[in-house]
Amino acid sequence: MPVIKNPGKFEGEETYVPYFWDMVLEGFHEEVGRGDSSVARIEISDEDRTKFPVLGNAKYILLEESDQGFVYSKLSGKKAGPKRAQSSHRTVTAEDILKRGRRFR
């Protein structure tokens, strides 16, 4: 899977993260959690899967920006239906992250 290697906001993230981060900046997301523990959640569409097959059968992508301006992501949930290409990301829910009281990093 392609990972962004250039230093900067998305360093170390998959190449689809800037695409979804633009959606967050445009307001096409749902805030999940409370206060400092909230993350942006976007439902992954079939069109998104066509652009980025590596998304596999994840239902959501969760995104957060650190205090230093770096963006981190996790795939969450599973879409019903036939299986697609599997991602190496571990599938977690926003609730899992918030329950543990920790950030993505």
Residue 11 lies in a domain: no
**Sign for the pseudo-dihedral over CA of 60, 71, 53, 26:** positive
Residue 1 lies in a domain: no
Q: Which range marks the domain in which residue 37 is found?
A: 17-100
Please give the pLDDT value at position 78.
Answer: 87
Q: pLDDT tier at 53 (50, 70, 90 boundaries)?
A: very high
Rounded to the nearest 5°, which phi and psi values hold at 59? -90, -35
Residue 6 lies in a domain: no
Residue 12 lies in a domain: no
pLDDT digit string, tens, across residues 58-105: 999 999 999 999 999 999 998 766 544 555 555 555 565 555 555 555
Full-model pTM: 0.73
Residue 9 lies in a domain: no
Q: How many domains does the chain fold into?
A: 1
Residue 87 lies in a domain: yes
